[in-house]
């Protein structure tokens, strides 16, 4: 069959019929009109008033965009979902926030300043996040009602839901409103966690307030610097599983609290936010036995992967781990945990050469700071909330419900008889 080339209109533009536009887009004719109703395509009545026509260039542009978003374009990684983003780039064992080296940002700026940079593209020195007493009070009451064995992520998720319920304007998805929510939600999440020491007063930076929820030791300047740098390094990391969940929620126009809740739900998996807790326990075992050999042997014998090692996006060492290890070397009490981590890397290299990732670096920090194994997950969750907000803001600017892949049905061929 010969390809049909639409005739140009008097003004020189090529016009496509509904059928031709549908074929080019790979959709049904009804979907073409859905694009028109969403404002993604413009239509014009055909001469004589029979049917609609569409600008060929406009249809071709939409078809290219749809192919990129569905992962069908070049560089999509074999059909994986590809999403345009201006937030984070990971390239050649380095990563960048809005084009700026993320490790350099974390070395020079606080977590709150980096969050503002990620959200707005503007650096605001001295930025701090504080939450109103009313927001903190409702979140604390809800968190306090949980059983004692509730995990930190359970508490953060409940705090986010409580804060949402207390905000009647949560459905305002304008940029200013979402940014206002973000600046209040993050400190509310931290304040909702119970302090380790009684009588603690919430003062200072977000890192200082978070430290009081993680360790009973007094916070020294070097340790607070590590914590604040860790928060800055972990703000975002492209489309991790939790971030994709946030974008799906935002695509459905869920409000910011709900989008963050979606991220927290995914974060709890052992292959994501909870990985640092596994590395923490591994380090403690090595410290107790004084040798990584038998500990690694037990892990391999049980068929488990060694936590804290390797990352699918980096061929060399995770740049986040490298930055944190450099700071931890300046803290004398971290030396035993650092030596244990190096022993883990060296011992595992006899079996499979893998570099340390950020989970192992977090484990060194938490294990040497008198923190529980869950502390790394808490740090990760608080840090990543800022990145989730950035992705939600970006997704609110895209067409609604675009994060809707098609299922490849592999079940019984219909029609099947009704079940007995």
Q: Tell me the pLDDT tens digit for each residue of 270-303.
A: 777 788 999 999 999 999 999 999 999 999 999 8
What is the mean pLDDT of the segment spanning 105-117? Answer: 98
Highest mean pLDDT among 143-147, 301-305, 310-314: 143-147
| Tokens (6 digits) for 7 | 């005739």
Q: How far apart are CA 185 and CA 131, in angstroms?
A: 7
| Tokens (6 digits) for 28 | 């049904």
Nearest Cα neighbor of 307 from 323, 294, 295, 319 is 295
pLDDT at 416 exceeding the cut of 60: yes
Q: How far apart are CA 384 and CA 233, in angstroms?
A: 9
Q: How far apart are CA 210 and CA 214, in angstroms?
A: 7
Q: Name the residue with higher pLDDT: 7 or 213.
A: 213
Determine if residue 395 is left, alpha or beta; phi over 0 gives left, psi from -120 to 50 gives alpha, anything else beta.
alpha
pLDDT bin (cut points 50, 70, 90) of residue 9 is: very low
Average model confidence (pLDDT) across the chain: 89
Helix (H) or strand (E) holding 373: none
Q: Nearest 5°: phi and psi at 289?
A: -85, -20
Q: How far apart are CA 286 and CA 307, in angstroms?
A: 13
Contact 53, 12 (CB under 8 A): no
């Amino acid at each position: 069959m010969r390809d049909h080339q639409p005739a140009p209109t008097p003004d020189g533009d090529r016009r496509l019929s509904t059928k031709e536009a549908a074929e080019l887009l790979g959709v049904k004719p009804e979907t073409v009109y859905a694009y028109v109703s969403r404002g993604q395509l413009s239509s014009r009545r055909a001469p004589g008033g029979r049917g609609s026509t569409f600008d060929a260039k406009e249809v071709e542009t939409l078809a290219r965009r749809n192919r990129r978003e569905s992962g069908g374009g070049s560089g999509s990684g074999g059909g994986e979902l590809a999403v345009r983003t201006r937030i984070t780039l990971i390239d050649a064992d380095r990563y960048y926030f809005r084009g700026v080296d993320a490790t350099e940002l974390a070395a020079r700026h606080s977590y709150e300043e980096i969050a503002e940079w990620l959200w707005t593209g503007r650096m605001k020195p001295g930025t701090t996040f504080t939450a109103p007493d009313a927001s903190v009070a409702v979140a604390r009451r809800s968190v306090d009602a949980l059983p004692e064995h509730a995990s930190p992520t359970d508490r953060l998720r409940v705090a986010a839901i409580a804060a949402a319920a207390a905000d009647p304007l949560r459905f305002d998805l304008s940029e200013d409103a979402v940014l206002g929510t973000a600046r209040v939600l993050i400190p509310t999440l931290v304040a909702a966690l119970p302090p380790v020491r009684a009588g603690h007063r919430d003062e200072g930076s977000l890192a200082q307030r978070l430290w009081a929820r993680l360790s009973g030791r007094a916070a020294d300047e070097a340790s607070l610097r590590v914590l604040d740098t860790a928060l800055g390094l972990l703000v975002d990391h492209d489309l991790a599983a939790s971030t994709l969940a946030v974008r799906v929620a935002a695509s459905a126009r869920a409000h910011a609290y709900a989008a963050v809740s979606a991220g927290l739900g995914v974060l709890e998996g052992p292959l994501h936010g909870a990985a640092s807790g596994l590395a923490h326990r591994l380090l403690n075992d090595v410290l107790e036995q004084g040798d990584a050999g038998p500990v690694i042997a037990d892990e391999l014998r049980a068929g488990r992967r060694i936590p804290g090692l390797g990352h699918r996006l980096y061929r060399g060492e995770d740049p986040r781990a490298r930055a944190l290890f450099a700071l931890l070397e300046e803290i004398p009490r971290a030396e035993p945990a650092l030596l244990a981590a190096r022993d883990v890397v060296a011992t595992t290299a006899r079996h499979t050469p893998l570099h340390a990732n950020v989970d192992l670096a977090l484990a060194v920090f938490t294990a040497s700071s008198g923190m529980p194994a869950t502390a790394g997950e808490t740090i990760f969750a608080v840090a990543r909330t800022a990145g989730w907000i950035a992705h939600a803001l970006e997704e609110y600017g895209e067409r609604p419900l675009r994060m809707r892949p098609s299922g490849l049905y592999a079940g019984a061929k219909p029609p099947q008889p009704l079940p007995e």
